[in-house]
Chain A
Amino acid sequence: MAVMTQEESKLINEALFEKLSSNDSGLVKQAIDAVNDFTRTKMREDGFFRRIMPPLPISNDELDRQQDTDKPVKIVDKEPDSPAAISVPFATLPNSLYIRGPRYKVTFDRIVTTRFTKDVDELRTWVMDIRQVLSDNSIKDMLAEEDGKFLRAVNTALVGQNMTVPTSGVVQWEGLGSAISRDSLWDAMKIMPNTPSNLEVHTVLINNITIKEVAKFGRNEMGGDLSVDIMRSGWTLREFMGVQWIITIKKDLVATDTIYYFSDPKFMGKFFVLEDTTMFVRREAYFLEFFAYETIGATLGHTSGLARADFNAA
């Protein structure tokens, strides 16, 4: 999103403010739509959950009705496992297996921000973009909730450091005794394909402190002039080691010396958006109040598409 000058912000504010103050419901809707467009764009750009598991819109028709509740639920098929083929001598027949199709459930809840209130006359003195005033705190709060829920679920699925995940039968959260190096980074990339599903890493999630350990790689470790470029310009790569890298400042969620690995999203599960991020804006007399909300549902249906490495683990 391009950075605006103060003059441009002021012009947008005046237009938006005029619409919000109007008695014409069409103009008020235009103002709210402008805030919503701004908010949704920022949501797409700033959250790591949405970049790792891109959300899919879901309509009422696609929901699966349940007998015991009227709350939205979606049932998703899992790819069934099957025993490996075997070599046999002549005069024998294959073993039988009755086909069963496992499924998983996606259930929904709503994320809401605090209800923010402001006297409109105090807003007149603001020179920054009012859409930003309305949406900045909301977006930050909603993304923190989305990203936090995602990583809590990932940690639950991975069971614990050096513990076997029952579904894959292998450890998918390894504590590596070594510091980050060319060798240990590649060793960590082996964790996910080591499961029976043989999935390869598609996306790496790392915090803004740990990435500097990677940036320290010398010419020998990094390979050629890349180390010179990084030393000169800092870390600007979005792809490295053949996969997408996401660098987050959320150190409370992604600890330093920890790297998360994710497969292609289609092997992880589903993230549905039933109601996209929406800003409720209401003006009553001289008070403006607003809050944002969204209804989403997401499940990690296939846990083999997840891995975690803790470097410098004791």
Chain B
Amino acid sequence: MAFRQMTSHTLDASKGWPQQYGVDFKAPLSASIPDSRLPVYAGHCVRLDSDGTFLLGVGTTASMPLFLFQNSDDPDIVNDGGDAAVDVGGWVGITPGGGIMAIPAKAAVELMSTEYVAGSYPPNTHLTAAIGTVAASGRLVAGTVYTDTIVGIVSRGVVNNGHGVNAVTFWPWYIPPTP
């Protein structure tokens, strides 16, 4: 099992959240995301599919970007007791319900995500996130306006997330791939 601290993968809101009437959103991850891509860490960019579940990234789709606040294997998201149809001695969690909280790109917040593709992110860099199920899918990366779906604009660049892990800071912002 890979080393992991609870501070290794984070999404934080530097400004604007939490608030009582915030527009956070809850949905489960799509079952189409393969086990090899799990867990999906906090800070990933996701979009909704037609079933109302989260898929990784936005690519060039006209989809509202959202940013995961929890890891997909956090105890308030899943209680993995094995596959009841296969595993002997497993258990089945009645709780939790499987939904992950995400902050949509239209929220008035400044976010800080550890999940980005290594690179240079000076202020005002436009960010996107590729679709698919490879390692880079859903991770923030520099994008091109009116080519990629833009999910945010870098605010203060790459900073320490408060626990020694680098994180890119940005204002979530949605610009569709075509004008």
| B24 adjacent to chain A (CB < 8 Å) | no
| B89 adjacent to chain A (CB < 8 Å) | yes
Contact with A along B78-96 (1 / 0, CB 8 A): 1101001111111111111
**CB of B69 to closest CB in A, whole Å:** 13
Inter-chain contact A105/B91, CB cutoff 8 Å? yes
Residues of A contacting B88 in the complex (Cβ-Cβ under 8 angstroms): 166-167
Determine which of B5, B79, B86 lies in contact with A105 in the assembled complex, contact meaning CB atoms within 8 Å: B79
Could you say which of A68, A160, A165 has the most chain B C-beta atoms within 10 Å of its C-beta? Answer: A68
Inter-chain contact A165/B84, CB cutoff 8 Å? yes
Interface residue total, chain A, C-beta cutoff 8 A: 40
Contacts A69-B75, A107-B75, A107-B79; A296 near B6 (Cβ below 8 A): no
Contacts A157-B84, A165-B84; A298 near B75 (Cβ below 8 A): no
**CB of A297 to closest CB in B, whole Å:** 5
Identify the closest chain A residue to B90 (Cβ). Answer: A167
Q: In the docked arrangement, what's the CA distance between A154 and B94, Å?
A: 8
| A72 adjacent to chain B (CB < 8 Å) | yes
Determine which of B4, B6, B85, B93 lies in contact with A153 in the assembled complex, contact meaning CB atoms within 8 Å: B93
Q: In the docked arrangement, what's the CA distance between A105 and B73, Å?
A: 13
Inter-chain contact A300/B97, CB cutoff 8 Å? no
Residues of B contacting A109 in the complex (Cβ-Cβ under 8 angstroms): 76-77, 95-97
Segment 80-134 of B: residues with Cβ below 8 Å from A? 81, 84-97
Inter-chain contact B75/A71, CB cutoff 8 Å? yes
Inter-chain contact A303/B95, CB cutoff 8 Å? no
Q: In the docked arrangement, what's the CA distance between A73 and B97, Å?
A: 15
Q: In the docked arrangement, what's the CA distance between A166 and B76, Å?
A: 27
Q: In the docked arrangement, what's the CA distance between A78 and B76, Å?
A: 22
| A301 adjacent to chain B (CB < 8 Å) | yes
Identify the closest chain A residue to B8 (Cβ). Answer: A68
Inter-chain contact A159/B94, CB cutoff 8 Å? no
Q: In the docked arrangement, what's the CA distance between A156 and B86, Å?
A: 12
Identify the closest chain A residue to B1 (Cβ). Answer: A68
Q: In the docked arrangement, what's the CA distance between A72 and B95, Å?
A: 12
| A70 adjacent to chain B (CB < 8 Å) | yes
Q: In the docked arrangement, what's the CA distance between A55 and B86, Å?
A: 29
**CB of A241 to closest CB in B, whole Å:** 26
Identify the closest chain B residue to A296 (Cβ). Answer: B95
Q: In the docked arrangement, what's the CA distance between A301 and B93, Å?
A: 8
Q: In the docked arrangement, what's the CA distance between A41 and B58, Å?
A: 47
| A163 adjacent to chain B (CB < 8 Å) | yes
Contacts A107-B75, A108-B75; A303 near B84 (Cβ below 8 A): yes
Determine which of B85, B87, B89, B96 lies in contact with A107 in the assembled complex, contact meaning CB atoms within 8 Å: B96
Residues of B contacting A303 in the complex (Cβ-Cβ under 8 angstroms): 84, 90-92
Segment 13-68 of B: residues with Cβ below 8 Å from A? none
Identify the closest chain A residue to B86 (Cβ). Answer: A166
Identify the closest chain B residue to A302 (Cβ). Answer: B91
Residues of A contacting B97 in the complex (Cβ-Cβ under 8 angstroms): 109, 145, 149
Q: In the docked arrangement, what's the CA distance between A66 and B75, Å?
A: 10
Determine which of A154, A159, A297, A301 lies in contact with B95 in the assembled complex, contact meaning CB atoms within 8 Å: A297
18 residue pairs of the A-B complex, CB under 8 angstroms, read: A66-B75, A69-B74, A71-B75, A105-B91, A107-B79, A108-B96, A109-B97, A149-B97, A153-B92, A156-B92, A159-B84, A166-B87, A269-B91, A298-B93, A299-B92, A299-B95, A300-B94, A303-B90
Which 6 pairs from chain A and chain B are nearest by CB? A109-B96, A107-B75, A298-B94, A104-B91, A107-B79, A153-B94
Additional pairs, 10, CB under 8 Å, beyond known A66-B75, A108-B96, A159-B84: A107-B79, A153-B92, A154-B92, A157-B92, A166-B84, A167-B87, A299-B79, A299-B81, A299-B93, A303-B84
Footprint of B on A, CB under 8 Å?
49, 66, 68-73, 78, 102, 104-110, 145, 149-150, 153-154, 156-160, 163, 165-167, 269, 271, 296-301, 303
Footprint of A on B, CB under 8 Å?
4-6, 74-79, 81, 84-97
